[in-house]
């Protein structure tokens, strides 16, 4: 069955960095009659998923679940914790960091946006330096995108926490894990993150439609005095209803069935093994890219993403044209270059419900598409990847 209408037979390869492939187990789990979201059967489901969802965040604190895409959870994190005119510190790591700071501005926050080259993550030393220069504690929050989906660069959230501590600064720490949760090691409690933002459609292997705020005690405390207007996003009535397994409004019932199943799958594999699998696939992908003679966009090996790889083409090639050829001939969707990287890079998503042979097929399709598009590549690329997978 193809889903894109190219008529080539076989399954479509959805290798964008989210939404990701939804496992059959999750699809079957969602194939249920929608039930009364104020009835006892729903309460049992609600209580179970609200407890189980804490594991991938690495938290024992509450996780708020919204029927919204990740952008909604971004807004929720800001409007529950901050007040008009509050200063926030952000870093230009790529397209999503740029969009999030733009939202902060539009909500009435004072944004300090540190420029970046879209090839590096947030530098912990710059966080420390900036906060150390703020003895009056004007900065109320540091906003970090853990895994920049536009660049394939992962910021070092634990080291940034250490930098905030070294500056002895009380700023809230807000982290977007939309393309890392359930794929890349993450520890909300250990790293004392105050709000962790996530979405359903990537490492959690679900369709788009729900998103999350994991909240620290400090964030809950801040929400009591925060004055940005909020209604739908307000944690308080949601947490009150959640105590009995309910929501104050209609939850995304069938996606919650899917969430229950996806969390079971992650627990069965074991989160450390899930993270190791993603790292192996990322390493194999980079081996292919280098073997082809092409360039990985991420420049610092400490920041290579486990969930996606962005590949930079030379000026004479249009990455969107390569993607078009691959979709037309091999029925595979790859991620486009976003913002200032448009047409310069394409992105391979290797996250979520994914295994060695799916990666081998993906890389074979990319290699064939590059050749067909006239990009000079060394066919040894695929062999280099297979060697990593064979280890
Ligand atoms: C890192 C990151 N943040 C935020 C978003 C926005 O999430 P959504 O499109 O679910 O609203 C995305 C979407 O891809 C993302 O990758």
CATH code of the domain covering residue 279:
3.90.1150.10
The reply to whether 4 falls in a domain is no
Q: Please tell me the pTM assigned to this model.
A: 0.98
Q: Are residues 293 and 201 in the same domain?
A: no
Q: Are residues 112 and 257 in the same domain?
A: yes
Number of Cβ within a 10 Å radius of residue 120: 20
Ligand 1 centroid vs 371 CA: distance in angstroms? 31
Q: Are residues 375 and 294 in the same domain?
A: yes
The reply to whether 6 falls in a domain is no
Ligand 1 centroid vs 20 CA: distance in angstroms? 13
As a whole number, the mean pLDDT across the chain is 97
- 235-283 pLDDT, tens per residue? 999 999 999 999 999 999 999 999 999 999 999 999 999 999 999 999 9
User: Contact, 336 vs 346, CB < 8 A?
Assistant: yes
- 335-351 pLDDT, tens per residue? 999 999 999 999 999 99
Atom of ligand 1 nearest to the CA of 73: 11
The reply to whether 5 falls in a domain is no
Q: Are residues 318 and 346 in the same domain?
A: yes
Whole domain around residue 140: which residue ranges? 24-267
Q: Is 347 annotated as belonging to a binding site?
A: yes
With a cut of 80, say whether residue 2 has pLDDT above it: no
> What token pair was written down for 72?
């909604």
Find out whether the beta carbon of 145 lies less than 6 Å from any atom of ligand 1.
yes
Find out whether the beta carbon of 176 lies less than 6 Å from any atom of ligand 1.
yes
Find out whether the beta carbon of 150 lies less than 6 Å from any atom of ligand 1.
no
User: Contact, 332 vs 13, CB < 8 A?
Assistant: yes
The reply to whether 208 falls in a domain is yes
The reply to whether 227 falls in a domain is yes
Ligand 1 centroid vs 53 CA: distance in angstroms? 19
Q: Are β-strands 332-336 and 13-15 bridged in parallel, bridged antiparallel, or unpaired?
A: parallel
Q: Are residues 214 and 358 in the same domain?
A: no
Q: SS3 for 89? A: strand
Crossing angle of helices 271-292 and 380-390, rounded to 10°: 160
- 211-232 pLDDT, tens per residue? 999 999 999 999 999 999 999 9
Of the pLDDT bands very low, low, confident and very high (cuts 50, 70, 90), residue 329 is very high
Atom of ligand 1 nearest to the CA of 148: 1
Q: How far is it between the farthest Cα atoms of the chain?
A: 63
Find out whether the beta carbon of 203 lies less than 6 Å from any atom of ligand 1.
no
State mean pLDDT over 53-70: 98
- 78-100 pLDDT, tens per residue? 999 999 999 999 999 999 999 99
Q: Are residues 147 and 188 in the same domain?
A: yes
Q: Are residues 263 and 276 in the same domain?
A: no
Buried b / exposed e along 122-149 (16+ C-beta atoms within 10 A): bbbeebbebbeeeeeeebbbbbbbbbbb
Number of Cβ within a 10 Å radius of residue 227: 12
Q: Are residues 257 and 164 in the same domain?
A: yes
pLDDT at 7: 62
The reply to whether 369 falls in a domain is yes
- Which residue intervals of the chain are DSSP H helices? 24-30, 40-52, 54-57, 70-81, 95-106, 124-132, 157-166, 217-225, 235-242, 253-269, 271-292, 319-330, 356-372, 380-390
Ligand 1 centroid vs 76 CA: distance in angstroms? 14
pLDDT at 57: 99
Q: SS3 for 65? A: strand
Q: Are residues 260 and 292 in the same domain?
A: no
Q: Are residues 166 and 307 in the same domain?
A: no
Domain count of the fold of the chain: 2
Find out whether the beta carbon of 71 lies less than 6 Å from any atom of ligand 1.
yes
Q: How far apart are CA 223 and CA 10, in angstroms?
A: 50
Residue 158, beta-bridge partner list: none
CATH code of the domain covering residue 218:
3.40.640.10
Q: Are residues 247 and 133 in the same domain?
A: yes
Domain endpoint, select from 240, 267, 294:
267
Q: Are residues 173 and 278 in the same domain?
A: no
Domain endpoint, select from 237, 267, 297:
267
DSSP 254-304: HHHHHHHHHHHHHHHH-HHHHHHHHHHHHHHHHHHHHHHT-EES---GGGB
Domain endpoint, select from 267, 295, 329:
267
The reply to whether 48 falls in a domain is yes
- 349-385 pLDDT, tens per residue? 999 999 999 999 999 999 999 999 999 999 999 999 9
Q: How far apart are CA 202 and CA 104, in angstroms?
A: 24
Which of 65, 100, 102, 199 is the pocket-test mutation for ligand 1 (most atoms within 8 Å of CB)? Answer: 199
With a cut of 50, say whether residue 1 has pLDDT above it: no
The reply to whether 124 falls in a domain is yes
Q: Which residues contact 212 (CB under 8 A, 6 or more apart)?
A: 53, 57, 63, 64, 65, 66, 73, 181, 196, 197, 198, 199
């Amino acid at each position: 069955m193809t889903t894109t209408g190219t008529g080539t037979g076989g399954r479509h390869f959805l290798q964008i960095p989210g939404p990701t492939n939804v496992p059959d187990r999750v699809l079957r789990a969602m194939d249920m009659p929608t039930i009364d979201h104020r009835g006892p059967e729903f309460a049992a489901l609600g209580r179970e998923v609200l407890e189980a969802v804490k594991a991938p965040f690495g938290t024992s604190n509450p996780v708020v679940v919204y029927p919204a895409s990740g952008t909604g959870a971004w807004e929720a994190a800001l409007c529950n914790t901050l007040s008009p005119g509050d200063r926030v510190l952000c870093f230009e790591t790529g397209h999503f960091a740029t969009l999030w700071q733009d939202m902060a501005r539009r909500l009435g926050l004072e944004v300090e946006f540190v420029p970046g080259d879209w090839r590096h993550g947030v530098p912990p030393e710059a966080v420390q330096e900036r906060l150390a220069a703020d003895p009056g504690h004007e900065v109320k929050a540091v906003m970090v995108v853990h895994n920049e989906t536009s660049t394939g660069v992962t910021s070092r959230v634990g080291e940034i926490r250490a930098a905030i501590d070294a500056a002895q600064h009380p700023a809230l720490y807000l982290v977007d894990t939309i393309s890392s949760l359930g794929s890349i090691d993450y520890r909300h409690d250990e790293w004392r993150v105050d709000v962790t933002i996530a979405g359903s459609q990537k490492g959690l292997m679900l369709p788009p439609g729900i998103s999350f705020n994991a909240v620290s005690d400090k964030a809950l405390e801040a929400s009591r005095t925060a004055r940005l207007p909020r209604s739908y996003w307000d944690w308080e009535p949601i947490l009150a209803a959640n105590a009995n397994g309910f929501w104050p409004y209609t939850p995304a019932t069938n996606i919650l069935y899917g969430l229950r199943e996806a969390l079971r799958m992650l627990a069965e594999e074991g989160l450390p093994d899930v993270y190791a699998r993603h790292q192996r696939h990322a390493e194999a992908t980079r081996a292919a890219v280098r073997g082809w003679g092409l360039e990985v966009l991420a420049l610092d090996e400490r920041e290579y993403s486990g969930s996606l790889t962005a590949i930079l083409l030379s000026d004479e090639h249009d990455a969107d044209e390569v993607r078009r050829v691959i979709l037309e001939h091999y029925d595979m969707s790859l991620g486009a270059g976003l913002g200032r990287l448009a047409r310069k890079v394409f992105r391979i998503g290797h996250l979520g419900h994914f295994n060695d042979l799916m990666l081998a097929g993906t890389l074979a399709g990319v290699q064939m598409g590059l050749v067909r598009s006239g990009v000079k590549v060394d066919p040894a690329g695929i062999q280099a990847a297979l060697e990593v997978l064979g280890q």
